[in-house]
Chains A and B, each alone.
Chain A
Amino acid sequence: MNVKQQNLKTWFKSGTPWVWMNAGAVAIAILMTLGLLSVIAVRGLAHFWPADVIVADYQVPGSEARVIAGEVVEAEEVPRARLAASGLPVDVEGGEFMTRELLKVGNREVYGADFSWVVGEWLRDTRRPAELMVVERREWGNFYGYLLNVKEQGQLVAEGEAAWAALQQRIERVDELHEQIAELEKVDIGRINHGLERLRLKTRKLELEGRLDAAAQADLDAERAEWDAQYQALESQLVSLNQQFSRDSIGVRTADGRELEINLGKVVRAYQPNAMSTADKLGFYFAKLWEFVSDEPREANTEGGIFPAIFGTVLMTIIMAVIVTPFGVIAAVYLREYAKQGALTRVIRIAVNNLAGVPSIVYGVFGLGFFVYVLGGSLDRLFYPEAAPAPVFGTPGLMWASLTLAILTLPVVIVATEEGLARIPRMIREGSLALGATKSETLWKVVLPMASPAMMTGLILAVARAAGEVAPLMLVGVVKLAPTLPLNGNYPYLHLDQKIMHLGFHIYDVGFQSPNVEAARPLVYATALLLVLVIAILNFSAVVIRNHLREKYKALDH
């Protein structure tokens, strides 16, 4: 015993335990990173899996049993006392814990909420009926229940066993119609609205310039009449499509026996998760995953896809990259190659370096005040007097978002490029100069190509930072729901004045501003996963490109 104590004492004295503690810190840091990523990955990816739906009799002590159906979303062990404290009729005797399960019960129009917490111990006779169906709808969230029949314009066409096949067939038809309607509304009617708006602005402009004479007015009227005629034609087409669209309906019964009718126009898809094989489920899983990245959001962003957000993020980042690269490189070249190296350049260098650490919200405030209100306001007064009092560029939009992020990431590009320039050996420059090249030729043909890996790295890091930045964007140009993409078929095709959707802001908005947070949560995890992937890929490619280009110029390095 004494020996052992002695050992313990020397062991502590040797400092080894502290080394181990430090090792523990590393391990914790790594586990935290991996844990975060895996929680996001698991929760994000699990969302698309068609989980089994259970049906059970829910017997709350002291009240009548009722049948409930739903997917188990979460289950946790809760101390009995806490359940009792929350007002549930919990028997105080018994085990220490009870399970509490969060069921997604859907049928919002019947129950009022999609989710319901239940006590696991009170669920009796849990079963998984194969014919139980989940209907994904465009409104009111999911429906859980049994299919009774399929109707066409109120007339019964299929019932019982045959109904399921008929339903699937009709959903396909409705899907097609939905696509046609969306195309018509978004593209064709969108084009007409855009044209009419441009016409209105043109009229106003002529009026302001005092050139709106009879001839011009006649021209404008003729143009307007043409648009109107096109619109009439499209509208009648749309009306008939809409009639077709809402032709069919299905009769359904909820697990607790209520019968209702759902119009097929509101149905996205219907499936019977309990009857699906693993292969079916996998197919379904990837279909949902594809819908997520390629489709538009539904139901206040809590369902459907996030394509516009991906598109907006990418477009904004590309515009930002186009702006930031030349400016960043010029500034770096000036600082390193042309400016007189002295105290002033050192100060500038430190200042630029530090700007990378300035909180991003400060850039947002600057962007809103200077770009949007000062620059945008002046642009509006100079070039768009006809749109007044509605602002064109004097309001947050894509251009200002890109510009703000460009300023935000400028230090990253400058610092990286400068480092690249500094690393080029002097003898190479001197060699080039000795051969008679001018300074600009040396720069353009020798130095810049050699520094390109550094520039590329700076650019990619800038893009990665820009893609994940949200705080400044909340001030200068993102919205929760943009009606159209900023790049579309209407002149001038790229709408720099439009507000955009953004992945990061989508996460914030859906996760924290949504009226139905519980329903939106899995989607937020999935969006977060996507954003993490995009940024990890960007960072990774920065490393790969840097290494690749470094190899390429390695021969010159010596």
Chain B
Amino acid sequence: MNDIEPMTANSDVQRLDFNTPALQRKRRIRALKDHLARWYVSIGGLAVLGAITLIFFYLAQVVVPMFQGAEIEARDAHKPAWLAEAGAPLLLAVEEQNQVAMRVGADGQVRFFAVKDGALLKSFALPLPEGVRIASIGEDVPGSRRLALGLDNGQLLVLEHNYKVSYPDNKKTITPELSYPYGETALTLDEQGRPLLHAAVSRNGDTLLVAGATDTELHALRISATQNLLTGETSLEQQRLNLPQLAAPIRELKVDPRHLWLYAFSGTASVDVFDLRRKQLNGRYKLVGDGREVTTISPLLGGISLMVGDSKGGIGQWFMVRGADGSSELKPVRQFSLGDAPVTQILPEERRKGFLALDAKGRLGIFHSTAHRTLLVEPVADGQALAALSPRATRVVVESAAGLQRFVIDNPHPEISWSALWSKVWYESYAGPDYVWQSTSANTDFEPKLSLAPLAFGTLKAAFYAMLLAAPLAICAAFYTAYFMAPSLRRKVKPVIELMEALPTVILGFFAGLFLAPFLENHLPGIFSLLLLMPLGILFAAWSWSRLPERIRLSVPDGWEALLLIPVILLVGAGSLAMSGHLENWFFGGDMRLWLSNDLGIPFDQRNALVIGLAMGFAVIPNIYSIAEDAVFSVPKSLTLGSLALGATPWQTLTRVVLLTASPGIFSALMIGMGRAVGETMIVLMATGNTPIMEANIFEGMRTLAANVAVEMPESEVGSTHYRVLFLAAMVLLMFTFVMNTAAELIRTRLRKKYASL
């Protein structure tokens, strides 16, 4: 295009030379500019569109890690020289920084070694009397670093292992230490000096509870520390608990950290639970099925749940559940499976309700109790092994025939599973499975309850009540404005209703919360009579109007009925509200709210679904209205005129012709309205109590997905499971509205095509 053909020679016209170098250059520059503009706009446009779609990918990228399993990575095994002469291992433990591990050996030595290479760092000889050996070992709840050693002379030694971090020469150094808070001399449990075959320890505040068992005899000691106010000295006071004795030999002992229960496992498959406050037996429970034997028992974080491993690789979760009559009972909650070999060790995590389990074939499983999830099962040793889990649950140290081996675990989000998010979950201390959202709490051994079900329910409940008000009102209004209203009035009315759409929802929310909620509470009977009387009032007004003499009736042209009705509606409204107090006095004893909760047993919140229905209905009306109105208005005139010409009344034409033709449009309007109601944040946030309950009661509040995100997101720790669950909530909202809107849009496009063909 840079060269233009010269004009034909026989032309008489003055020849213009378009091919001078200057013009050619100009043309080239213009072409270049055009080219550049094309590239610029294409790249820019695609980049912007890409940026928008980034939302999907980013949300997904944050959410996905939650559903991935755990990974475990083995590091080199070491067989340090000291291990050979250290005797059988009784217990392994790793400290917070994953650098130092502790090993209690049967030879009465506690050795600390480097996790990395197995090098011996420090060794302590336990202060055991001459010739006395360790017969058993018991641990307090995960994270306490407290042990009880049962000795073969009937005594019991309580010790704690601690780690001091210091920075000599700017190098982090961890110094392990052992301490004996209850003295280096062991406590005597069995006065006859028989070996304590089982030991348990638990500290609750200032009270320590130790328990030990000889073959069948059970001993428990409570030690309370009291500080003398004058001298500041602490004195210890011992108290022996007299518990009923058992017949069968005891296999294992555990103490509940709140000192309510003592669990004594006896025989092959059962446990006796002692009520420590009443000092009596609560009951005997069978823990595993026939043909199985209990092999190991460990409490979960917080000590409420007991994980019971059996001889066929099964792991059951049990905890005490308080029944309706106030009595407690040990109940099975969940069942996990590691494989077919006997479970030899269960390692609870110290920060979460997860645990690891090891079986006799050396297979390691990673589980999470609340999520009921098996994240990984992988062999870590050949045959029998002993393992320790680090406090952050990122390292496992395994001692087996091959020596000491270290494993790195990557398991960031075990708490989440489909069932934890959407099904009923039996949480600790609950009477039964339930849907609960409770993401944070003050104490560290809290079980996060991350069920999205109550939030999704709240979202749908809010949307339902909003649609209950908005759908009929908006669609009726759309019919009237599009089909009956005088055009001059329509031009004024439509913008007013559409102005409602621009109204910030924070204003609607504050209005609902601060004005509407107390107003409704004080005028409940009035509101309900208003709902009843309004249609009747309108009908009555219409009937009276039709009875008026023609002279008056004809003075108002068709299509102005809406204006005539305004005073009627105001009158009915004012009348109902004025009646409210009287109605309340006559029927509800002066206080309908009390009547509802006392006589009907319906709980009443001031900020409830009724308020939401009104306020959010208000917000949704313009959305539905404007789309439905468009759909009705663009029904081809030929159809309606034909129908009228055949003798149908305007109402018949509307219901039989217009409504049928426009129904896809109206349906898409409803979908758009629903989408808006589901995603609305501020109104719900301000006009409900934001309690995540699952009650359809109109007089109670709810918490919606959107409001929940707004409330909890700012406080959530970046990258934590809670943070990701909130992202998931946002993604659920995004998907839901996107699907709704797309469907609505497709329906409308088809409708438009249909109209065009008519």
Measured CB to CB, the residues of A under 8 A from B are 8, 11, 14-34, 36, 39-40, 43, 76-82, 84-85, 96-97, 327-328, 330-335, 337-339, 348, 350-355, 357-366, 368-370, 373, 407, 410-411, 414, 438-441, 443-444, 464-465, 467-471, 474-475, 504-505, 507-508, 511-512, 517, 521, 524, 528, 531-532, 535-536, 539
Q: A-B pairs with the 10 shortest C-beta distances? A: A334-B45, A15-B651, A81-B590, A359-B679, A468-B504, A440-B37, A25-B476, A20-B542, A471-B681, A22-B480
If A20-B539, A440-B34 touch, does A333 touch B41 (CB 8 Å cutoff)?
Answer: yes
Decide: B650 and A19 in contact? CB cutoff 8 A: yes
Decide: B676 and A357 in contact? CB cutoff 8 A: yes
Residues from 480 to 503 in B contacting A, C-beta threshold 8 Å: 480-481, 484-485, 493, 496-497, 499-500, 502-503
Our count of residue pairs bridging A and B at CB distance below 8 angstroms stands at 333
Chain A minimum-CB-distance residue to B648: A15
A327 partner residues in chain B, CB cutoff 8 A: 44, 48, 51
Decide: A512 and B713 in contact? CB cutoff 8 A: no
Decide: A362 and B710 in contact? CB cutoff 8 A: no
Decide: A16 and B651 in contact? CB cutoff 8 A: yes
If A21-B476, A350-B745, A358-B734 touch, does A27 touch B562 (CB 8 Å cutoff)?
Answer: yes
Decide: B709 and A19 in contact? CB cutoff 8 A: no
B344 partner residues in chain A, CB cutoff 8 A: none
B44 partner residues in chain A, CB cutoff 8 A: 327, 330-331, 334
B510 partner residues in chain A, CB cutoff 8 A: 507-508, 511-512, 524, 528
A84 partner residues in chain B, CB cutoff 8 A: 590
- Judge if B554 is at the interface, Cβ distance under 8 Å: no
A-B contact pairs, 10 of them (CB 8 A): A15-B654, A40-B507, A361-B709, A362-B734, A365-B713, A366-B55, A373-B718, A410-B52, A440-B33, A440-B36
A16 to chain B, nearest CB (A): 7
B730 to chain A, nearest CB (A): 4
Chain B minimum-CB-distance residue to A332: B45
A441 partner residues in chain B, CB cutoff 8 A: 30, 33-34
B351 to chain A, nearest CB (A): 23
Query: Roughly how many angstroms separate A411 CA and B737 CA in the complex, as a whole number?
Result: 15
Decide: A358 and B477 in contact? CB cutoff 8 A: no
B654 partner residues in chain A, CB cutoff 8 A: 15
Q: How many residues of B contact A (CB 8 A)?
A: 114
The residue from A24, A30, A76 contacting B522, defined by CB atoms under 8 A apart? A76
Query: Roughly how many angstroms separate A333 CA and B509 CA in the complex, as a whole number?
Result: 38
- Judge if B448 is at the interface, Cβ distance under 8 Å: no
If A338-B42, A359-B681, A468-B504 touch, does A26 touch B480 (CB 8 Å cutoff)?
Answer: yes
- Judge if B88 is at the interface, Cβ distance under 8 Å: no
Chain A minimum-CB-distance residue to B494: A26
A475 partner residues in chain B, CB cutoff 8 A: 710, 713-714
Decide: B41 and A330 in contact? CB cutoff 8 A: yes
Interface majority SS (helix, strand, loop, mixed), chain A: helix
Query: Roughly how many angstroms separate A355 CA and B675 CA in the complex, as a whole number?
Result: 12
Decide: B58 and A26 in contact? CB cutoff 8 A: no
A11 partner residues in chain B, CB cutoff 8 A: 543, 546
Q: Which of B145-153, B191-199, B565-573 contacts A (4 or more CB under 8 A)?
A: B565-573
The residue from A22, A30, A355, A361 contacting B493, defined by CB atoms under 8 A apart? A30
The residue from B48, B509, B565, B675 contacting A328, defined by CB atoms under 8 A apart? B48
Decide: B502 and A24 in contact? CB cutoff 8 A: no
B36 partner residues in chain A, CB cutoff 8 A: 440
Query: Roughly how many angstroms separate A360 CA and B543 CA in the complex, as a whole number?
Result: 46
Decide: B506 and A474 in contact? CB cutoff 8 A: no
| Highest count of chain A CB atoms <10 Å: which of B507, B513, B678 | B507
If A15-B651, A19-B651, A508-B509 touch, does A28 touch B710 (CB 8 Å cutoff)?
Answer: no
Decide: A23 and B565 in contact? CB cutoff 8 A: yes
Interface majority SS (helix, strand, loop, mixed), chain B: helix
- Judge if B263 is at the interface, Cβ distance under 8 Å: no
B504 to chain A, nearest CB (A): 3
Decide: B41 and A337 in contact? CB cutoff 8 A: yes
If A331-B44, A508-B686 touch, does A411 touch B52 (CB 8 Å cutoff)?
Answer: yes
Chain A minimum-CB-distance residue to B567: A27
Query: Roughly how many angstroms separate A337 CA and B731 CA in the complex, as a whole number?
Result: 33
A82 partner residues in chain B, CB cutoff 8 A: 584, 590-591
Query: Roughly how many angstroms separate A474 CA and B734 CA in the complex, as a whole number?
Result: 18
A284 to chain B, nearest CB (A): 26
B678 partner residues in chain A, CB cutoff 8 A: 359
The residue from B33, B564, B727 contacting A369, defined by CB atoms under 8 A apart? B727
- Contact digits for B376-402, partner A, Cβ 8 Å, 1 yes 0 no: 000000000000000000000000000
Query: Roughly how many angstroms separate A337 CA and B584 CA in the complex, as a whole number?
Result: 66
| Highest count of chain B CB atoms <10 Å: which of A14, A334, A465 | A334
B751 partner residues in chain A, CB cutoff 8 A: none
If A85-B591, A359-B681, A365-B59 touch, does A26 touch B504 (CB 8 Å cutoff)?
Answer: no
Chain A minimum-CB-distance residue to B34: A438
- Judge if B534 is at the interface, Cβ distance under 8 Å: yes
The residue from A16, A78, A80, A358 contacting B679, defined by CB atoms under 8 A apart? A358
Chain A minimum-CB-distance residue to B564: A23
Query: Roughly how many angstroms separate A78 CA and B518 CA in the complex, as a whole number?
Result: 13
Decide: B706 and A471 in contact? CB cutoff 8 A: yes
Decide: A470 and B682 in contact? CB cutoff 8 A: yes
Decide: A362 and B539 in contact? CB cutoff 8 A: no
B569 to chain A, nearest CB (A): 5
Chain B minimum-CB-distance residue to A82: B591
If A369-B62, A475-B713, A535-B503 touch, does A22 touch B46 (CB 8 Å cutoff)?
Answer: no
Decide: A360 and B681 in contact? CB cutoff 8 A: yes
Query: Roughly how many angstroms separate A85 CA and B589 CA in the complex, as a whole number?
Result: 11
Residues from 179 to 200 in B contacting A, C-beta threshold 8 Å: none
Decide: A464 and B733 in contact? CB cutoff 8 A: no
- Judge if B610 is at the interface, Cβ distance under 8 Å: no
Residues from 51 to 69 in B contacting A, C-beta threshold 8 Å: 51-55, 58-59, 62
A335 partner residues in chain B, CB cutoff 8 A: 45, 49
Query: Roughly how many angstroms separate A25 CA and B562 CA in the complex, as a whole number?
Result: 8
13 extra interface residue pairs, beta carbon distance < 8 Å, beyond A97-B581, A338-B42, A438-B34: A15-B652, A24-B562, A25-B473, A28-B534, A30-B566, A33-B499, A328-B48, A359-B681, A369-B62, A441-B30, A508-B510, A512-B513, A532-B503
The residue from A36, A369, A528 contacting B618, defined by CB atoms under 8 A apart? A36
A80 partner residues in chain B, CB cutoff 8 A: 585, 590
Decide: A96 and B585 in contact? CB cutoff 8 A: yes
Query: Roughly how many angstroms separate A353 CA and B744 CA in the complex, as a whole number?
Result: 11
B335 to chain A, nearest CB (A): 37
Decide: B651 and A18 in contact? CB cutoff 8 A: yes
B476 partner residues in chain A, CB cutoff 8 A: 21-22, 24-26
- Judge if B594 is at the interface, Cβ distance under 8 Å: yes
A321 to chain B, nearest CB (A): 16
Chain B minimum-CB-distance residue to A469: B504
A373 partner residues in chain B, CB cutoff 8 A: 718
Decide: A79 and B581 in contact? CB cutoff 8 A: yes
Residues from 394 to 452 in B contacting A, C-beta threshold 8 Å: none
